[in-house]
Amino acid sequence: MSLSCFLFSSPLLLLLLPVARALDLPTYNLVLDGLMDLIHPQHPPLPAPIKPRKPTGTATRASAAAAAPQPWEALFAPMRSAYREADYPNKPAGREPQFTNYAWSAFMPDEPFAGTLDYLFLSELGWGPVQYVKPLPALADVKAEHPVGFPVASEPSDHVLLAAELVLLDF
């Protein structure tokens, strides 16, 4: 997975995340919800249990237990998706675009792959409402005009350009 982000010297964060699969990807849910089920196969492994040392001297059983390592816990502040918040023709608010990638692949010789792989995520802190996102065309229109997928002269990459106008708050 490729990841680009811009992190400032504050809790403000803008994350551009191309992922390798569609919306059911646990990373997408982790970014938006800040959580991942502990039993999910993509959850980072927890450390092996370590036996606490036997109490010595003035140490008590309670102080030894308190000093024992605690299980790892993921803490991730939820983020917002600029395109999910935006409303424009071909996509209602509350949903990601129909596609951000439209490409022919040797692994899919019958029809080009079309899916949402690219996102604009914003931290909850520091950003106002999304003012504008570049509208993306309807997938049916793109398939009719370019049946073999991108890139083409009018779209030089297999990933469409995502763009948003954001309000940076003074915090």
Looking at residue 66, what is its pLDDT? 53
Check residue 144 and give its pLDDT.
95
pTM of the model as a whole: 0.67
48, 160 contact by CB (below 8 A): no
Q: Looking at residue 15, what is its pLDDT?
A: 57
Distance CA 108, CA 4 (A): 28
What are 72-119's pLDDT values in tens digits?
Answer: 455 667 888 999 998 888 787 788 999 999 998 777 778 899 999 888
Residue 138: predicted pLDDT: 93
Distance CA(112)–CA(121), nearest Å, equals 26
Is residue 124 within 8 Å of 77, Cβ to Cβ? Answer: yes
Query: Residue 102: enclosing H or E segment and its boundaries?
Result: strand 101-105
Low-confidence ranges of the chain (pLDDT < 70): 1-25, 44-76, 171
